[in-house]
Amino acid sequence: MNPEIAELNASAAGYAAALDRVRTEMSKVIVGQREVMDRMLAALCADGHILLEGVPGIAKTLMVRTLAGCLDCSFARLQFTPDLLPADITGTKIFNRKDSSFSTVKGPIFVNFLLADEINRAPPKVQSALLEAMQERQVTIQGETFPIVRPFLVLATQNPIESEGTYPLPEAQTDRFMFKVMMGYPTLDDEIEIMNRFAEEECSQVCRVLARSELDGLQAFTRWVYTDPAVKRYVAELTSATRDPASFGLDPADHIRYGASPRASIFMILGAKATALMDRRGYVVPEDVRAVAHDVLRHRIVLTYEAEADGMTTDQAIDAILREVPVP
């Protein structure tokens, strides 16, 4: 084996062990949902934001709070409601009558982990207040710009069932999320364990098992995971197939109205690197890319009205793309 790859593998194994500690600690509270947990850890490694979508009562909020509790980082929860204002998130300037001056009061967005609970219940003006912070890692308050200390992750939840009193996230905002993870119901055995754990016992408390320095090193190493040029081309072809499906032999090719942006390629590579790291590898294989493709692409593809009328979903469109684009 190449000495450089062997060294990367050794480092990956050490960081994967740290993530195993986080996963084990989260399992004290969260029952099942291993795939969702892995996607959250992958987003953590890649310093990316994540959107969790699922019906009420399946522990979306609990999972985010539990992850934050395992890390040596600051955390804040924002319950998004229709009467929320942008200043409630970013902060504002307050007039001081004693010295006739204005002082800045920073909002709850100035944390390492921000839980945006039911993000689609706030109006677009409030949702847009997150855009600058998510992309630029900074917040502008009445003309004055303040940096946000890294790491900074927005972990948002939304309910797909209720449409009354909700405001769908615009594409410009959803594109800032690295993953959109669909969280489903637990299995029968998991649901029995949930009843045993929460109806008969006192809920376990998690401990902080990942230091801030370890997290910084973990995120820095993720970008060093080796990716062969052939794998990078494979990622570019997957993204290109969402924009020009006909050139890849997809039938019917007119089901996709808008494809994914180059940001999808970046997040797919970063997600694949994080997946490889969690598998104790210092290099990416095509299976790592395929593992994260649905979560990266599903909120970046806009289907045509004909496709929606035929009952087609974005996940089915991604399945077709993964079948047709040749694997290196």
Cα 199 from Cα 190, distance rounded (Å)? 14
Cα dist from 299 to 115, 243, 283, 303, 320, whole Å: 19, 14, 27, 11, 16
Domain CATH number, residue 90: 3.40.50.300
Is the pLDDT score of 131 beyond 90? no
**Residue 91 backbone dihedrals phi, psi, to 5 degrees:** 110, 180
Q: What residues contact residue 256 under an 8 Å CB cut-off, 6+ apart?
A: 242, 243, 245, 301, 302, 303, 304, 307, 317
Helix (H) or strand (E) holding 67: helix 60-69
Same domain, 115 and 257: no
- Domain ends where: 155, 186, 218? 218
> pLDDT for 134-166, tens place per residue?
888 888 888 788 888 888 888 888 887 766 667
Helix (H) or strand (E) holding 43: helix 34-46
Same domain, 211 and 292: no
- Domain ends where: 162, 191, 218? 218
pLDDT (average), residues 41-50: 92
Is the pLDDT score of 13 beyond 80? yes
> pLDDT for 175-223, tens place per residue?
889 999 988 888 899 888 888 877 766 666 788 888 888 888 899 999 9
Is the pLDDT score of 60 beyond 90? no
SS3 154: strand
- The identity of residue 80, as a single letter, is F
> pLDDT for 212-252, tens place per residue?
888 888 999 999 999 999 999 999 999 999 988 877 777 65
> pLDDT for 283-294, tens place per residue?
999 999 999 999
199, two tokens: 């109806």
Same domain, 112 and 205: yes
Same domain, 205 and 269: no
Q: Can you give the pTM of this predicted structure? A: 0.88
Cα 197 from Cα 217, distance rounded (Å)? 34
Q: What residues contact residue 38 under an 8 Å CB cut-off, 6+ apart?
A: 23, 275, 278
Query: By mean pLDDT, which of 11-20, 34-43, 168-177 is the weakest?
Result: 168-177
